[in-house]
């Protein structure tokens, strides 16, 4: 790698190493986090994911041990060898070592073989891969399980798969073999028999992760360019690792309460009348709904920050009509600005030099929905400010949230060339470097604009993002399909997004593309009801998939689970309050809290909601029974109260209207009265669902809207249950002036 070590210097928290071929750095960030850095391209980090100084004063010891230099805190030791090989230890035991022997590359296919494969239509893009300009290879001991990496397809445990981090607009049906999707979150949790650790590879170029597929002796991370810049995160448990990663990259902030309600959307609601009819039908059928989404047709010729008055009427009037019935409006905004002299936003961008350019200095043009379009250069602070100010067009007419789409960035005339000129804050850059953070920076600008103009907690949705985007936006998994395999994939996909810091995430309930069925929709709403973002969305050209399209039975089942969602709103809100403090997601794989239990390592069809609820949805067509694994402890059926001993499997009944759910012994779950939308009536009464066993639960309450909670305007209620079933409540914090008028206890189970 870098040759022999010549010298080193300790510079505050950094140890500066001098090798024959290159300089390198090891920085102590905290007692359990260290940064490994080789400045191949820039001297500094220039991170988009990490904002502010994260290194804190930490006691550590540096010792020259001859063949290596030891850098040790109370929690973590790094041993730095010649070549800048870095091994990590805890309590004197190795937990992660660099692989010394070199990668064993797959042989190249001959030109003849490639031509034959291409002729028959095979994808040959995953051919042999050589060593990358930026690369780190880690030894595998054989017992590794891998989690995280954002929205990658496939199963919960990523062992034996390979992936790329390159935000990609892929409308085809996503399968297990897809290496890249819409998001690039290069964060990996490695679970071993005796240890657990995380690595965050902070490099925005196209990068590659191979988790034992190339060779069972190692896993690797490589990138096309940039610095070698990764953070090693140690801890005792998986929650420690998630906490360390979100300490670095930021945590999902507390959202407005209405955003946790049910959302309805479709690309194909092509007029205001259509949207109002759908909204009215939800009220007629008493299916709770908070939000109607406006897809691209509401714009005038797909020009961003305009309104199609011909089909959608007066914008403020249309949105007010929905508001009168309790609906919020969320509007889509794409980054592509129509090339149209005389169109205000295009003219402003040209005058302000806001758009990406060719290497020759011309404004770069591709095509998206408006036709020929240009791309805002969000790496420029002045462009983000301009984009933030443009949100005023939406907020002035009453729009409550913004849905950012097509921001990989997508393009209809081939991918943007790698040498298109963008900006990285104060210096010129390229599409190759800025592609993966384009959606991140667009979301940041949108968030800041909404916050400035409304004073409320912004609701932003994005399709494309990077590590750290959770500070600004919720996400959905993009253009899924109405396929049972995509319902099955939703559980591990959302769980891994949560482990990757993106706690506010969801899939399109029912599937976006293709045609849904009644049974598939009934099973999907049973997953959606527990997903942080709960939205039914479908594509133009597919059959409509509002529940009433499938008959009365489907309506009744759909209503049942949407109502369950609204009952559980205070529990979900509590989990978001916890997430802002700890980084722990709302929807969690069982392995997060039961990592020593090998039955959880590859559990793809169940999940936890917080620590207190196990949800085991049916994900197979025609299935009316479910094999459920319950981890250690005592569990109670959420609906019947039946008692179960943990650490074993059960075959339970699961007819179409039933989703198996289990509460842990001692759980106390807060619930509200069902309303048709958040704010229909005041939440004066809190119901506590109490399950047998000792336990403590802290419930959080604030105004559900603005940032007053950051100044102490919130209440905390601490509930304690004794073994004999006696429950007491004590106010731990009284800062919100509308406490509950009544708290009722509902005892479930024996």
Residues with catalytic roles: 405, 408, 479
| Peptide linkage before 409 cis (omega within 30 of 0) | yes
Check if the beta carbon of residue 531 is closer than 8 Å to that of residue 507. yes
Question: How far, rounded to the nearest angstrom, does the alpha carbon of residue 103 sit from its chain's CA centroid?
Answer: 32
| Distance (Å) of CA 396 to CA 304, 336, 440, 613 | 15, 22, 24, 41
Structure token digits, residue 196: 């657990």
| First-to-final CA distance of the chain | 63
- What is the spatial distance between Cα 576 and Cα 220, in angstroms, rounded to a whole number? 34
Given a contact cutoff of 8 angstroms between Cβ atoms, the answer to whether 337 and 349 are in contact is: yes
CB 450 within 8 A of CB 460: yes
Question: 3-state class of 369 per DSSP?
Answer: coil
Query: Residue 639 corresponds to which tokens in the numbers above?
Result: 């609906």
Question: Which pair of structure tokens corresponds to residue 194?
Answer: 């005796």
Q: Are 219 and 99 in contact (CB under 8 A)?
A: no
Q: Give the count of beta carbons closer than 10 Å to the beta carbon of residue 477.
A: 26
Q: Which helix (H) or strand (E) holds 695?
A: strand 695-701
Please check whether residue 224 is in contact with residue 244, taking contact to mean a CB–CB distance below 8 angstroms: no
Q: From CA 157, how far away is CA 189, in angstroms rounded?
A: 10
Handedness of CA 652, 653, 659, 664 (dihedral sign): negative
How many Å apart are CA 335 and CA 512, to the nearest integer?
21
For 214, other C-beta atoms within 10 Å of its C-beta total 19
Long-range Cβ contacts of 66-72 (<8 Å, 24+ apart): 69/5, 69/8, 69/15, 69/17, 71/15, 71/26, 71/28, 71/34
Among the residues of 151-260, which ranges form H helices? 238-249
Per the CB < 8 A criterion, the answer to whether 283 and 237 are in contact is no
| Phi, psi for 239 (deg, rounded to 5) | -60, -35
**Residue written as tokens 């809100």?**
573
Opening angle at CA 415, ends 414 and 417, nearest 5: 115
With 0-12 / 13-18 / 19 or more C-beta atoms within 10 angstroms meaning exposed / middle / buried, residue 483 is middle
Calculate Rg over the CA atoms of the chain.
Answer: 26
Asked if residues 25 and 42 have their Cβ atoms less than 8 Å apart, the reply is: no
Query: Which residues, in sequence order, are bridge partners of residue 373?
Result: 338, 366
């Amino acid at each position: 790698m870098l040759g022999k070590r010549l010298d080193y210097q300790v510079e505050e928290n950094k140890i500066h190493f001098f090798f024959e071929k290159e300089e390198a750095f090891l920085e102590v960030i905290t007692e359990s986090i260290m940064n490994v850095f080789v400045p191949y391209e820039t001297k500094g980090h220039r991170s988009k994911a990490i904002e502010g100084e994260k290194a804190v004063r930490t006691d550590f010891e540096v010792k020259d041990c001859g063949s290596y230099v030891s850098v040790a805190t109370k929690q973590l030791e790094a041993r730095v060898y010649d070549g800048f090989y870095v091994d990590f230890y805890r309590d004197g035991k190795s937990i992660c070592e660099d692989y010394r022997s070199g990668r064993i590359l797959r042989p190249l296919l001959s030109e003849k073989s490639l031509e034959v494969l291409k002729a028959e239509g095979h994808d040959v893009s995953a051919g042999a891969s050589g060593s990358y300009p930026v690369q780190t290879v880690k030894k595998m001991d054989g017992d590794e399980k891998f989690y995280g990496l954002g929205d990658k397809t496939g199963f919960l445990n990523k062992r034996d798969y390979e992936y790329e981090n390159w935000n990609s607009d892929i409308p085809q049906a996503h399968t297990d073999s897809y290496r890249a999707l819409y998001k690039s979150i290069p964060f990996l949790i490695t679970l071993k028999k005796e240890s657990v650790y995380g690595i965050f590879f902070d490099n925005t170029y196209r990068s590659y992760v191979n988790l034992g597929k190339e060779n069972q002796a190692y896993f690797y991370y490589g990138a096309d360019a940039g610095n070698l810049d990764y953070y090693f995160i140690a801890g005792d448990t998986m929650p420690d690792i998630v906490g360390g990663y979100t300490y670095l990259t930021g945590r999902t902030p507390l959202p407005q309460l209405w955003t946790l309600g049910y959302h309805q959307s479709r690309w194909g609601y092509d007029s205001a009348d259509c949207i109002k009819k759908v909204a009215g039908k939800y009220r007629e059928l008493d299916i709770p709904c908070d939000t109607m989404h406006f897809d691209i047709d509401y714009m005038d010729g797909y020009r961003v920050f305009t309104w199609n008055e011909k089909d959608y009427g007066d914008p403020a009037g249309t949105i007010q009509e929905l508001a009168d019935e309790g609906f919020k409006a969320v509007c889509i905004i794409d980054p592509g600005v129509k090339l149209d002299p005389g169109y205000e936003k295009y003219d402003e961008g040209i005058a302000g030099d806001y758009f990406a350019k060719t290497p020759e200095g011309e404004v770069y043009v591709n095509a998206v929905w408006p036709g020929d379009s240009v791309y805002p250069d969000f790496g420029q602070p002045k462009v983000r400010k301009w984009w933030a100010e443009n949100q005023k067009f939406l907020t002035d007419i009453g729009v409550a949230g913004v849905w950012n789409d097509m921001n990989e960035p997508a393009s209809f005339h081939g991918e943007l060339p790698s040498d298109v000129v963008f900006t990285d804050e104060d210096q010129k850059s390229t599409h190759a470097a800025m592609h993966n953070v384009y959606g991140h920076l667009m979301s940041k600008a949108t968030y800041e604009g909404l916050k400035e103009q409304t004073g409320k907690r912004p609701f932003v949705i994005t399709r494309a993002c990077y590590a750290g985007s959770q500070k600004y936006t919720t996400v959905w998994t993009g253009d899924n399909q109405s396929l049972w395999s995509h319902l099955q994939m939703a559980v591990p996909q959302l769980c891994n997004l949560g482990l990757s810091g993106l706690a506010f995430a969801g899939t399109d309930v029912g599937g976006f593309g293709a045609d849904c069925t009644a049974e598939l929709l009934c099973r999907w709403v049973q997953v959606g009801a527990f997903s942080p973002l709960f939205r039914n969305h479908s594509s133009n050209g597919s059959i409509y998939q509002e529940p009433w399209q499938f008959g009365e039975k489907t309506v009744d089942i759909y209503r049942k689970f949407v109502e369950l969602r609204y009952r559980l709103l205070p529990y979900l809100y509590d989990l978001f309050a916890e997430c802002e403090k700890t980084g722990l997601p709302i929807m969690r794989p069982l392995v997060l809290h039961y990592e020593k239990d090998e039955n959880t390592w590859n559990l793809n069809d169940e999940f936890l909601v917080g620590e207190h609820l196990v949800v085991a949805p049916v994900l197979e067509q025609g299935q009316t029974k479910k094999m459920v694994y319950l981890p250690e402890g005592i569990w109670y059926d959420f609906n019947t109260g039946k008692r179960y001993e943990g650490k074993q499997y059960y075959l339970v009944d699961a007819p179409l209207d039933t989703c198996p759910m289990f509460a842990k012994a001692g759980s106390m779950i807060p619930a509200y009265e069902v309303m048709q939308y958040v704010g229909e009536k005041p939440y004066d009464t809190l119901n506590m669902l109490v399950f047998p066993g000792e336990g403590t639960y802290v419930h959080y309450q604030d105004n559900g809207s603005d940032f007053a909670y950051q100044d102490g305007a919130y209440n905390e209620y601490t509930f304690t249950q004794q073994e004999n079933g006696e429950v007491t409540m004590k106010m731990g914090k009284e800062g919100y002036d509308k406490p509950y008028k009544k708290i009722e206890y509902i005892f479930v189970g024996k």
